Structure 1
Amino acid sequence: MSGSTKTICGPWRYVLLCVGMICTVLGIAGIVLPGLPGTLFLLIAVWAFSRSSERFHLWLYNHPRFGSGVRAWHEHGVIPPRAKIAAVTMISFSFALLWGFVLEDWRLAAATGVVLALVATWIATRPGAIKQEDPA
């Protein structure tokens, strides 16, 4: 694991520990449930644990099932293609719902659309796989 973690003491440690646990549960659920961004919640959980519990942080970071995605993002900034497709699809679906049912002012809808388009573009432009070093 690269980098060091800074554990917070006092009541904030317990807040972050709870955030980490809740996000871990949501992340695991997101792997099974369509539309729930599992990897995002696991990334939030590993961040919260890095500041509240080294034990839980190392457990999640090195987990045989969930750790690979967390490590790929942390070490290489990689978002797998399947996750990119899911994220951009959910962003589009969310915007359609907002446009059709929630946002009445076209300016607010347009501003929301611009922000969501920027987020989707950022996600789509992240690497999709870990770049292999050329041995030559």
Structure 2
Amino acid sequence: MKTTEQHRNVVIRYVFLTIGAISFGLGTAGIVLPLLPTVPFYMLALFFLARGSERFHKMFLESSLYQKTVATYERDKALTLRTKLSILASVSTIMAVGAYFSQDMPIALIVMALVWVGHIIALAFIVKTKK
């Protein structure tokens, strides 16, 4: 990834670092919570950390969480079938548990169903499959 110049204003840099840290936290939570998307939050974290601190930007790019969730996709613009099935299995399991505990909340069930269908559409038709 092309490195970016960090912002000169110290206050703006701290704002960028704060937003980057929040994005990183939300992305990490998205690993286990199916309603939070991991990759977009990690991409936001990358953007803001790069502008806030070159050191944090480099640390983030080298982190195992980034390497496992974004780096391969960013490099290849595709996921293996095994990775796609793993994502779908974990999302489906977590959604099923959530649906079980939300049986009396139809709006929650509808939202979960839409998110689940969105995952299926994205993995089947949008994200390319790597051989």
| TM-score, with structure 2 as normaliser | 0.58
Provide Cα deviations, 1:92-114, integer angstroms capped at 9, x if missing partner.
Answer: 11221222112413354134302
Name the one with the larger strand percent: 2
Provide Cα deviations, 1:54-75, integer angstroms capped at 9, x if missing partner.
Answer: 23323443x3965486343334
Aligned-partner residue type, residue 16 of structure 2? R
Alignment of 1:5-44 (within 5 A): 5=4, 7=6, 9=9, 10=11, 11-19=14-22, 22=25, 26=28, 40=39, 43=43
Q: Counterpart of 2:128?
A: 127
What CA distance in whole angstroms lies between the structure 1 residues aligned with 2:49 and 2:129? 26
1:76 Cα offset (Å):
4.1
What CA distance in whole angstroms lies between the structure 1 residues aligned with 2:112 and 2:23? 29
Name the one with the larger helix percent: 2
Alignment partner of 1:116 is 2:116: yes
Percent of aligned pairs sharing the same letter: 18
Alignment of 1:94-109 (within 5 A): 94-109=94-109
Q: CA contact under 8 A between 1:16 and 1:48: conserved in structure 2?
A: yes
Give the 3-state SS of the residue equivalent to 1:16 in structure 2: helix
Q: Counterpart of 1:134?
A: none
Which ranges of structure 1 fall in alignment gaps of 5 or more residues?
A: 132-136
What CA distance in whole angstroms lies between the structure 2 residues aligned with 1:106 and 1:17? 35
Which ranges of structure 2 fall in alignment gaps of 5 or more residues?
A: none
